[in-house]
Amino acid sequence: MSKPVSFKVPPSSSTAFRFQEDYDALFYNRFHSHPEVQFSYIVSSHGIASIGYRAVSFQPDDLFVLGAKVPHVFRNDQPGPAAHALSILFLPETFGQPFYDLPEAGIFNKLWKEAERGIKITGFEYKSLMEDFRQAKGLARLILFLELAEIVHHHPRKSLILPVLPGPANPGDQERMQAVYQYIAENYERPIRLEEVADVAAMSPTAFCRYFKSRTRYSLVQYLNTYRIEVASKRLVERDLPVAQIAESCGFRNLANFNRQFRAITGKTPQGYRKSVRSVPDTK
């Protein structure tokens, strides 16, 4: 199993912001975190993003805003289009507390708090803003960033990825939890036993159960079911395969259990979900 990593984005003396363009066959596929807030716009490719303890699908024109130290990984489907994303990384403390004390800066305090839970906007209409930011210098770059933050704050399709913030962290928590998330992301397609995940965390099964729920508000089984159903939802829409085959490809060996879990999490049957999503016209 790959060891999770904690990134330190190289600082720059010439700008408070770092612009990054990823364009390759695959996104970086290891769980990682960094102290910067990250705005990432998906230009092409699609797949599953694991954000903290949740898995969500991504596709072109999605925008993600991830708070400082939020562990994440984007895994694009293969075969498929090349992974292409535009990202802005920024240390919130760069502005300094006097800035955040300004009445006009209230949206930033709220936005960074929301980003701790991860923000996703589907069909983000401002790709041009991200492209303009890449070329901008000096004050123009700062103005564009302020504009982007305001748009995200007020966007009608903004959704928070994590239902609640993770539980309180202790020293070593982040690396341990990232290792667990990484293990599940790499093995969800097969049955996973509690004992093997506990071993990844270097804990007894009983201690791990308490620990995992205190950090995620989920039991391990609930987390696995939620992760697998998210992947299954995406495959139901994109692939013309029987429901039973999709269920098995996502780690469910019992079709009745898959149907039950799918309805509990999405409110629909697998077939009902497939029909409802495919019947929605593409307005882009």
Q: Parse the chain into domains and list their residue ranges.
A: 5-160, 188-278
Q: So what CATH class is 188-278? A: mainly alpha
pLDDT value, residue 272: 94
Question: Which pTM was predicted?
Answer: 0.80
Residue recorded with tokens 């990384």 = 89
**Domain 5-160 shares a fold with domain 188-278:** no
pLDDT value, residue 168: 59
* pLDDT beneath 70: ranges in the chain: 1-15, 166-171, 280-284
The torsion of the CA quartet 51, 54, 59, 60, rounded to 10 degrees, works out to -30
Q: Which of 22, 142, 28 is nearest to 90 (CA)?
A: 142
Phi, psi dihedral angles at 88 (to 5 degrees): -120, 130
Q: How far apart are CA 216 and CA 168, in angstroms?
A: 10
CATH, domain 5-160, list 1.10.10.60, 3.40.50.1360, 2.40.110.10, 2.60.120.10: 2.60.120.10
pLDDT value, residue 233: 93
**Helix or strand or coil: residue 48?**
strand
pLDDT value, residue 254: 92
DSSP-derived letter for residue 123 is T
pLDDT value, residue 281: 58
Q: Output the CA torsion sign for 151, 17, 55, 195.
A: negative
Count of alpha carbons within 13 angstroms of residue 226, beta-carbon side: 19
Check whether the bond before 81 is cis (ω within 30° of 0).
no
pLDDT value, residue 11: 47
Read off the tokens for 79: 């075969």
